[in-house]
Structure 1
Amino acid sequence: MFGDSLLPSECSLIVEELKHTSLCFQCAHGRPTTVPLVNLEALHKQIAQLRVLNDNSSESLHGLHRHEMSLERANQRLRAARG
């Protein structure tokens, strides 16, 4: 619950459990549960530069790739979350 104190081990367990959910960056009400600790735009630019250096490979680099924001993408995520 909001305001409850947690041990560091409890925090780690919650984060580990969140990783295995389909909508890990928001609560059941759609509110954000995390904030980025990196500049995502800069990260995507670095990945793009690595692709150029890697013979213009179209494959994702270690599973990292960007999806354009769209209603279709949101619907795909919701369908995946529902099973």
Structure 2
Amino acid sequence: MALFYDIVFNKDSRRHEIEFVNQQFDYLMGIYYDVAAGTYRLSLPLEEARAISKSWGGRDFDLDYWLKLAQQELTEHDLKYPNGKEENS
């Protein structure tokens, strides 16, 4: 089994997010920007993310790694593609 991720544009929030999916592209969890908190957050409790990661990816979920990646990559995507990739291409 495999766990994949992709950076996607959320039209409602007007921000990019990280989505984690399985090989059938079923949404499993995500990382999004929480405006009220001013930071990126996991879409579900950490223990659930760890269980999903172990089940689909065979390893523990490193939240610090993914939040750091989100801060860097999603911020960059928001600046480069403010309306999503498709609309700016």
TM range (shorter): 0.3 to 0.5
Give the TM-score normalised by the residue count of structure 2. 0.36
Give the TM-score normalised by the residue count of structure 1. 0.37
Which structure dedicates a bigger proportion of its chain to strand? 2
